[in-house]
């Protein structure tokens, strides 16, 4: 261990078993390709935390510190979902572990590689009411791909090698592979839990002269980027998987995490593509933006004979209703995972990969008519909801001189009125979508705004993230932080006011922490207006409904931003919104956009 890690051999004589084991484990993570370690402070986990700090000092990892374990877990989730590499989160014993449960569940249902290292007291202290001790093994139940309850190290010669081996296994399993790096058929990427018992002395000083080297074979096996993962998910290009032949009137649905393979499949088959905004497939000539409206429209949804579903659709009721219809053949495609998408348990055909029978050139008239009707109708619906454009300047001739002063005055009045127009939800999502460049990142919270975007924004190849595994508002700010740090570019998070307040602790950045180019855009309508769409909202007592569902709030977001040291801006009109989105994003900033209920 001493020669391999570049540490001073003499220091091994003074090192506690806890520190020696922590060093071997974290060094093993580095060798396997891990780059990000998130630490929440605690006494029992001090050996892991101090070794992580030393590994950061020598440039082996990026270390991130958060005081709240829930924030730490979702930060690690964001780092992992953007980088494609597992992030490690280190916490102490007791309730600290339980606070990771929301992030672990999201990683489980979204298939995100995440490694939890929870410190624990020795097994002999369980069940006797020892302070800060509970039964941590099994705390995440079936939500983890692998769990190990590791006995406290005692200084045996073989313990460092065992810890390094455990690290390699954890990385491989979190990525849906076995220890040799081979893809596993099931269950795919997800969280791993290492429960690490430590006895006193809990830590001793450690010093490294250089960073541990990365095992190239391990790095190649673990460094799966989002792009490469998408290429494997639906390998239509190499004709692997089941053949989906032409014939029935087919639509392709791309839910969260579907990836660009879904767009390729729809294009090759000549079928309409109904791609959610977080699918990674919302682009291309076959895209149908107004999918929800057309699924309810006679001559469209009622004529569908087959639906092929990629990813996890979560943003409409129309898609699960379509999948459950007895007169529609439903085919669900998922390269891996614990659960299949199966609303109503009506799906009868599941595939790990598919490819389309290429549409003939030219396409048969009936196939061309089927695709064309969907695409053209969708464009008409979306265009009808756009604000009227002002066109060319009136009252000015071709030389640039005013030729009609009355026409010019009317034009300027219209321009001024447009700039002063209050911001609507549609205007907000359209503006953010248009301001996002392909190298930027966009994160949506689980609020009304993601649904408004899904109904309206056009196709663009930009990277969009959202915690849609369980579609909760937990940890959205922390997730956006992780995405922003891992991407290195501008990240915009579009969230509701309750989503912000639910994760307000994640605004806290201690000294020495990365301050990425993150703009959190808060659509502030004073509460949870998403619940106004519930059927009961029309019949329930208004005051009671507001208290328990809408949950009104009047937090001063400017003061909140100042308290946490964030930049702040407020946009109430179209002009102010345009200015705010055009301004440079140099660090964490909060943009408040008041919206009507």
Same-domain check for residues 55 and 155 = yes
Residue 212 is part of a domain; what is its CATH number?
A: 3.40.50.970
Q: Give pLDDT, residue 386.
A: 58
Q: What is the pLDDT of residues 544-556, one digit of tens each?
A: 999 999 999 999 9
What value does the mean pLDDT take over residues 245-256? 95
Better pLDDT: 398 or 201: 201
What value does the mean pLDDT take over residues 180-192? 74
Q: Give pLDDT, residue 417.
A: 67
Give CA–CA dist 561/65, Å, rounded: 20
Q: What is the pLDDT of residues 535-545, one digit of tens each?
A: 898 899 999 99
The answer to which of 25-29, 213-217, 451-455 has the lowest mean pLDDT is: 213-217
Instruction: Say what the alpha-carbon torsion angle 571, 572, 576, 581 is, to the nearest 10 degrees.
Output: 40
**Sign of the CA dihedral running 92, 95, 97, 99:** negative
Same-domain check for residues 67 and 96 = yes
Q: pLDDT averaged over the chain?
A: 88
Same-domain check for residues 391 and 474 = no
Question: What secondary structure does DSSP assign to 25-92, as a single string?
Answer: HHHHHHHTT--EEEE---STTHHHHHHHHHHHHTTS-EEEE-SSHHHHHHHHHHHHHHHSSPEEEEE-
Same-domain check for residues 262 and 200 = no
Instruction: Say what the alpha-carbon torsion angle 211, 114, 189, 138 is, to the nearest 10 degrees.
Output: 130
- Which of 188, 230, 176 has its CA nearest to residue 463? 230
Structure token pair of residue 129: 């009411």
Residues 6+ apart with CB under 8 A from 462: 433, 436, 437, 438, 440, 442
How does strand 354-356 pair with strand 441-444? unpaired
Give CA–CA dist 341/332, Å, rounded: 7
Strands (E), 217-296: 242-244, 250-254, 273-275
Q: Give pLDDT, residue 3.
A: 34
**Sign of the CA dihedral running 224, 226, 228, 233:** positive
Q: Is the pLDDT score of 281 beyond 80?
A: yes
Give CA–CA dist 64/37, Å, rounded: 6
Q: Give pLDDT, residue 178.
A: 73
Instruction: Say what the alpha-carbon torsion angle 208, 213, 218, 219 is, to the nearest 10 degrees.
Output: 110
Q: Give pLDDT, residue 230.
A: 36
Residue 546 φ then ψ, to 5° = -60, -40
Residue 519 φ then ψ, to 5° = -115, 115
Predicted TM-score (pTM) of this structure: 0.89
Q: Could you give the number of structural domains in the chain?
A: 4
Same-domain check for residues 432 and 511 = yes
CA 148 and chain centroid, separation: 27
Q: Which residues, listed in sequence order, are joined to residue 146 by a DSSP beta bridge? A: 192
Q: Is the pLDDT score of 225 beyond 60?
A: no
Residue 368 is part of a domain; what is its CATH number?
A: 3.40.50.1220
Q: Give pLDDT, residue 127.
A: 84
Residue 217 φ then ψ, to 5° = -65, -40
Q: Give pLDDT, residue 382.
A: 87
Q: Is the pLDDT score of 243 beyond 80?
A: yes
Name the residue with tokens 């975007």: 453
Q: Give pLDDT, residue 185.
A: 54
Same-domain check for residues 276 and 349 = yes
Distances (CA, A) of 145 to 127, 265, 375: 26, 30, 41
Q: Give pLDDT, residue 408.
A: 54
- The last residue of one of the domains, among 194, 224, 254, is 224
Q: Give pLDDT, residue 364.
A: 86
Exposure letters 131-145 (e unless 16+ CB within 10 A, then b): eebeebbebbeebbb
Same-domain check for residues 103 and 211 = yes
How does strand 518-524 pair with strand 589-594? parallel
Same-domain check for residues 396 and 476 = no
Name the residue with tokens 């705004």: 449
Q: Give pLDDT, residue 415.
A: 57
Better pLDDT: 406 or 261: 261
Question: How many residues are there in the chain?
Answer: 597
Q: Is the pLDDT score of 350 beyond 50?
A: yes
- Helix/strand/coil for 200: coil
Question: What secondary structure does DSSP assign to 243-265, as a single string?
Answer: EE-S-S-EEEEE-BT--HHHHHH
Same-domain check for residues 33 and 176 = yes
Same-domain check for residues 399 and 505 = no
Query: Is residue 266 exposed (0-12), middle (13-18) or buried (19+ Cβ within 10 Å)?
Result: buried
DSSP collapsed to 3 states, 399-410: CCCECCHHHHHH
Same-domain check for residues 9 and 122 = yes
Q: What is the pLDDT of residues 487-531, one digit of tens each?
A: 999 999 999 999 999 999 999 999 999 999 999 999 999 999 989
Q: Is the pLDDT score of 322 beyond 70?
A: yes
Q: Give pLDDT, residue 124.
A: 86
Contact yes or no for 72/98 (Cβ under 8 A): no
pLDDT bucket at 11, cuts 50 / 70 / 90: very low
The answer to which of 211-215, 296-300, 432-436, 492-496 has the lowest mean pLDDT is: 211-215
Q: Residue 16: which domain range?
A: 2-224
Give CA–CA dist 418/400, Å, rounded: 23
Same-domain check for residues 166 and 91 = yes
Give CA–CA dist 305/555, Å, rounded: 50
Q: Is the pLDDT score of 148 beyond 70?
A: yes
Report the percentage of the chain scoring pLDDT > 70: 87
Give CA–CA dist 243/126, Å, rounded: 55
What value does the mean pLDDT take over residues 338-367? 89
Q: What is the pLDDT of residues 41-71, one digit of tens each?
A: 999 999 999 999 999 999 999 999 999 999 9
Residue 2 φ then ψ, to 5° = -60, -50
What value does the mean pLDDT take over residues 568-574? 96
pLDDT bucket at 399, cuts 50 / 70 / 90: low
Q: Give pLDDT, residue 401.
A: 57
pLDDT bucket at 239, cuts 50 / 70 / 90: low
- The last residue of one of the domains, among 173, 200, 224, is 224
What value does the mean pLDDT take over residues 549-566? 96
- The last residue of one of the domains, among 366, 394, 419, is 419
């Amino acid at each position: 261990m001493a020669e391999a890690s570049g540490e001073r051999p003499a220091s091994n004589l003074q090192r506690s078993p806890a520190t020696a084991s922590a060093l071997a484990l974290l060094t093993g993570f580095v060798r396997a390709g891990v780059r990000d370690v998130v630490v929440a402070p605690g006494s029992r986990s001090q050996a892991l935390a101090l070794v992580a700090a030393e590994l950061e000092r020598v440039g082996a990892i990026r270390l991130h510190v958060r005081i709240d374990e829930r924030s730490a877990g979702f930060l690690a989730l964001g780092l992992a979902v953007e980088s494609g590499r597992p992030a490690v989160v280190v916490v102490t014993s007791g309730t600290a572990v339980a606070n990771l449960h929301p992030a672990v569940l999201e990683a489980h249902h979204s298939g995100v590689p995440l490694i939890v290292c929870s410190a624990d007291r020795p097994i002999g202290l369980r069940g006797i009411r020892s302070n800060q001790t509970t039964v941590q093994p099994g705390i995440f139940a079936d939500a983890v791909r692998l769990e190990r309850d590791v006995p406290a190290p005692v200084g045996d010669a073989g313990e460092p090698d065992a810890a390094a081996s455990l690290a390699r296994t954890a990385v491989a399993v979190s990525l849906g592979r076995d220890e040799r790096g081979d893809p596993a058929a099931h269950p795919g990427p997800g969280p791993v839990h290492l429960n690490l018992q430590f006895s006193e002395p809990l830590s001793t000083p450690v010093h490294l002269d250089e960073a541990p080297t990365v095992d190239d074979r391990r790095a190649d096996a673990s460094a799966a980027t989002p792009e490469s993962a998408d290429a494997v998910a639906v390998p239509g290009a190499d004709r692997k998987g089941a053949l989906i032949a032409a014939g029935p009137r087919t639509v392709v649905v791309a839910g969260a995490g579907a990836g660009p393979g879904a767009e390729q499949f729809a294009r090759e088959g000549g079928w309409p593509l109904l791609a959610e905004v977080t699918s990674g497939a919302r682009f291309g000539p076959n895209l149908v933006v107004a999918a929800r409206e057309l699924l309810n429209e006679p001559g469209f949804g009622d004529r569908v004979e087959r639906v092929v579903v990629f990813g996890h659709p979560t943003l409409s009721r129309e898609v699960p209703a379509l999948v459950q219809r007895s007169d529609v053949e439903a085919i669900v495609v998922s390269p891996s995972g614990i659960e299949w998408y199966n609303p109503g348990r009506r799906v009868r055909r599941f595939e790990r990969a598919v490819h389309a029978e290429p549409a003939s050139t030219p396409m048969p008239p009936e196939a061309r008519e089927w695709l064309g009707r969907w695409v053209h109708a969708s464009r008409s619906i979306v265009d009808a909801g756009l604000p009227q454009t002002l066109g060319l300047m009136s009252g000015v001739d071709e030389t640039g001189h005013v030729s009609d002063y009355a026409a010019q005055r009317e034009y300027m009045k219209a321009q001024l009125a447009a700039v002063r127009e209050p911001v609507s939800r549609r205007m907000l999502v359209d503006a953010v979508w248009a301001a996002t460049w392909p190298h930027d990142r966009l994160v949506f919270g689980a609020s009304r705004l993601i649904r408004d975007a899904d109904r309206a924004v056009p196709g663009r190849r930009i990277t969009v993230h959202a915690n849609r595994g369980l579609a909760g508002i937990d940890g959205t700010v922390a997730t956006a932080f992780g995405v922003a740090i891992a991407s290195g570019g501008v990240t915009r998070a579009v969230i509701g006011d309750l989503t912000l307040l639910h994760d307000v602790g994640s605004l806290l950045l201690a000294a020495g922490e990365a301050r990425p180019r993150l703009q959190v855009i808060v659509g502030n309508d004073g509460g949870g207006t998403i619940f106004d769409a519930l059927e009961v909202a029309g019949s329930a007592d208004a005051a009671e409904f507001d208290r328990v569902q809408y949950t009104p709030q009047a937090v001063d977001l400017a003061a909140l931003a100042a308290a946490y040291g964030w930049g702040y801006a407020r946009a109430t009109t179209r002009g102010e919104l345009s200015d705010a989105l055009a301004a440079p994003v140099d660090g964490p900033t909060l943009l408040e956009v008041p919206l009507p209920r």
